[in-house]
Amino acid sequence: MIPLTKTFMPPKDELMPALEKVLYSGYIAQGEAVDIFENKLALYLGNSNCLTVNSGSSALHIALILAGVKDGDEVITTALTAEPTNTVISQSGAKIVWADIDPKTGNLCPEDVERKITEKTRAIMVVDYAGVPMDIKKFQEIEKKYGIPIIEDGAHAFGASFEDKKIGNHFRYTVFSFQAIKHFTTIDGGVLCLKDDHEFEKAKLIRWFGISKKLTRQENDITVQGYKYHMNNVNATVGLIQLNHIEKVVDRYIKNGRFFDEALKNIPGIELLEYYPNSQPSYWLYTVKVKNKQNFIKTMTDKGIMVSDLHKRNDSHTIFRDSKIQLSKLDEFEREWVHIPCGWWVTDEDREYIVNVIREGW
């Protein structure tokens, strides 16, 4: 079976000595390894303000706090995403306001987002679904016009770019997840990329109980509510070794994605996504829209290819029932969207086989 997702790990003889060194160093909490990892991650992403944390969800929560989101506020978001994007909004006490998607991409529709803005809107949560950058230019215009911060959930889009700058540089807050099956994993973890130096320093306090690591415990005075959201030296060490391979890993996703972009054109019953101008997807999942979706899934599975729609639309969960509204474009997309394998493990032979199976029909 060609899997839909698969965890990349560096060679054992490269990773294990580094892990053994840190595990027996006498210091495995947040320390020098985390600092070095953040600096090297900043070089890769092109943003000097990279704050590592223990999960992408923690990074989203910090972003919401920095954006000033509190009980009774509204956050506009998408129902087409992994659940933590939206459970963390509920965690903040804010009301979720769903906006519809652009059916050409699966990403949030900026025009519908703008229609949903009210005086209670404190943030807009936007997802680069499946590794396809959302309409960054239009959302930058919305952020500027209304003064409402965009929080970019880039969990699917590590290594993607817009106007030749990697995702992580276009909004006040961008979040990546380093969970097990993403492009880049530290076993678990995440990072919050920020534009503002002052907010970067405040985020450091929120990450660690409101306590500054620049001062002794006796010198500290907690002035902001903080949490135990820090990354540790063990996860950071995994990340440091992973960074040695990230260009090769992301490049393979992109090469496979571009191959499918060409090879799947004009096949009856299948429709490819469109990409916004000047954007380069990183194809965490390769998304297609197909007629007779369940037949497609069964046929591909029977032929040894794992395919799935993977994510359950979030507005169908009981926890979000009070926010339920009609989302006609998402309804339309849901009937047809499905993902096929596209990652670093998909060989040239695998991708040819996948295309040939699709051409045979379902």
Q: How far is 226 from 221, CA to CA, in rounded Å? A: 12
**DSSP letter for each residue of 302-356:** HTTB--B--SPPGGGSGGGGGG----HHHHHHHTTEEEE--STT--HHHHHHHHH
Q: Which helix (H) or strand (E) holds 37?
A: helix 32-45
Residues in Cβ contact with 203 at an 8 Å cutoff, skipping those fewer than 6 apart: 51, 62, 66, 192, 194
| Domain spanning 247-360: CATH 3.40.50.300 | no
Is residue 117 scored above 90 in pLDDT?
yes
Query: Does residue 207 have a pLDDT over 90?
Result: yes
What average pLDDT does the structure give for the chain? 97
| Mean pLDDT of all residues in 15-27 | 98
Residues 6+ apart with CB under 8 A from 336: 271, 289, 290, 291, 293
Give the pLDDT score at 216: 87
Q: How far apart are CA 338 and CA 217, in angstroms?
A: 52
Q: Which fold has domain 12-241?
A: Aspartate Aminotransferase; domain 2 (3.40.640)
The answer to whether residues 191 and 39 touch, using CB atoms and an 8 Å cutoff, is no
Kindly indicate the confidence band of residue 28, based on its pLDDT and cuts at 50, 70 and 90: very high
Domain boundaries, the chain: 12-241, 247-360
Tell me the whole-structure pTM to 2 decimals: 0.96
Same CATH topology for 12-241 and 247-360: the answer is no
CA distance 121 to 72: 10
C-alpha–C-alpha distance, residues 140 and 120, integer Å: 20
Q: Which residues are catalytic?
A: 182
pLDDT at 230: 98
- Alpha-carbon distance of 214 to 233, in angstroms, equals 18
pLDDT digits (tens, 9 = 90+) for 301-354: 999 999 999 899 999 999 999 999 999 999 999 999 999 999 999 999 999 999
Q: Hey, what's the torsion of the CAs at 341, 346, 347, 353, to 10 degrees?
A: -20
pLDDT band at 222 (very low <50, low <70, confident <90, very high): very high
How far is 269 from 81, CA to CA, in rounded Å?
A: 25
Rounded mean pLDDT of 177-183?
A: 97
Contacts of 335 (CB under 8 A, 6+ apart): 293
Nearest to 325 by CA among 115, 136, 142: 115
pLDDT tens-place string over residues 76-113: 999 999 999 999 999 999 999 999 999 999 999 999 99
CA–CA distance, 236 with 37 (Å, rounded to integer): 6
**Helix spans in 156-232 (H):** 197-207
pLDDT at 65 over 90: yes
Report pLDDT digits (tens) over 247-293. Answer: 999 999 999 999 999 999 999 999 999 999 999 999 999 999 999 99
Band of residue 213 on the pLDDT scale cut at 50, 70, 90? confident
